[in-house]
Amino acid sequence: MLEISPAKVVQVIFQSREGDMADEELEAFIEAMNEDEKTSLVALAWIGRGAFDPAEFDEARAIAAAEATIPTARYLMGMPHLAENLEAGLDAMGIDVTEAEEDFL
């Protein structure tokens, strides 16, 4: 089960696209999340890049929690194509973020 609101994922997507100017804000936003939100965000990115199937979401979350060795924000911000991975993960999970995107804009 997704333990993070689609609106928070959308915010990460938009901030990661802003580049260097939003890096500090994005890092602070991610690090302020609780552990369930962080592991869900990592699992969603992994699903988006094809490392896991949507049916393996719980397994991906468990691995993300068990193998976390650096701050989540640093790990995610170092991931190539973070925004695209998160979008693909949301899509693969069948999560519609249209309303969240409209609210963010």
Domain limits of the chain? 6-104
pLDDT, tens only, 35-83:
999 999 999 999 999 999 999 999 999 999 999 999 999 999 999 999 9
Per-residue pLDDT at 21: 65
Amino acid at 5: S
Note the pTM of the prediction, 2 decimals: 0.92
Dmax of the chain from CA atoms? 36
* Residue 105 predicted with pLDDT over 70: no
Assess whether pLDDT exceeds 90 at residue 84: yes
- Rounded to an integer, what distance in angstroms lies between the CA atom of residue 56 and that of residue 33? 22
On whether the CB atoms of residues 83 and 13 are closer than 8 A, the answer is yes
Q: Residue 30 in contact with residue 41, Cβ under 8 Å?
A: yes
d(CA 30, CA 27): 5
The token pair at 25 is: 């804000």
Collapsing DSSP to helix, strand or coil, 35 comes out as helix
If one counts every other C-beta atom within 10 angstroms of the C-beta of residue 94, the result is: 7
